[in-house]
A and B are shown apart, each in its own frame.
Chain A
Amino acid sequence: QKEVEQNSGPLSVPEGAIASLNCTYSDRGSQSFFWYRQYSGKSPELIMFIYSNGDKEDGRFTAQLNKASQYVSLLIRDSQPSDSATYLCAVNPGGTSYGKLTFGQGTILTVHP
């Protein structure tokens, strides 16, 4: 079992729809969770982070964390073609895992007009 798994994708949604990206992780002690967006040929860009169970909203983005189910998700409301990118889920195990993020393989999102 991979440490961090994301829904396989690619995911295609129409403009204006809600895009739902999912991620599960294997280390139950994991402390913090991050979503990065990576455009083709570019470096990952941090868009959301969440540490506590529940929802966290930032503009059109909502991150949801359920530690009991070891599940974290990202919802993108009113999706725009500019949201088309690879979305990476990253997990920090906490403890002495200084500076280490374990990434999922990424989900490619395409928003079509």
Chain B
Amino acid sequence: KAGVTQTPRYLIKTRGQQVTLSCSPISGHRSVSWYQQTPGQGLQFLFEYFSETQRNKGNFPGRFSGRQFSNSRSEMNVSTLELGDSALYLCASSLAGLGNTEAFFGQGTRLTVV
């Protein structure tokens, strides 16, 4: 059974550019959550999608957005990149995104903004 797949694994972007990251969840999982991980702030929740709908959102500016497709694959977009957006972006897949279901992480996308 394939795990959570994130692409690309590494990205280098320039300030002001935008970037799109992709996440394919485990087959049968309909909930995809996105997290940002930095050495200073740790793992922080960005948003969660289920059946193409955003159900939950963390405390990030509007430059961070996402969407989910009918096959449960999800993308997140960051516009007008800032140096502080350099981080490991992780997506987590779960059956339903409810409190009593386990979430499994992909390998992450390492974004560097220069």
Q: What residues of chain A have their CB less than 8 Å away from a CB belonging to chain B?
A: 31-32, 34, 36, 42-46, 49, 51, 88, 90, 92-106
Contact = CB atoms under 8 A, between A and B. Distances in A.
Contacts of B45: 99-102
A95 B100 CA distance: 11
Interface of B: 31-33, 35, 42-45, 48-50, 55-56, 58, 88, 90, 92, 94, 97-100, 102-108
Contacts of A93: 99
Contacts of A88: 43
A70 B109 CA distance: 33
Nearest to B41: A105
Given A44-B43, A51-B100, A100 B90 contact: no
Given A93-B99, A97-B56, A99-B103, A43 B108 contact: yes
Interface of A is mostly: loop
Contact of B56 (A31, A36, A94, A96): A96
B90 A99 contact: no
A14 to B, nearest CB: 28
Contacts of A98: 31, 48, 50, 55-56, 97-98
Given A99-B48, A99-B94, 5 more contacts: A34-B103, A43-B88, A44-B105, A103-B42, A104-B42
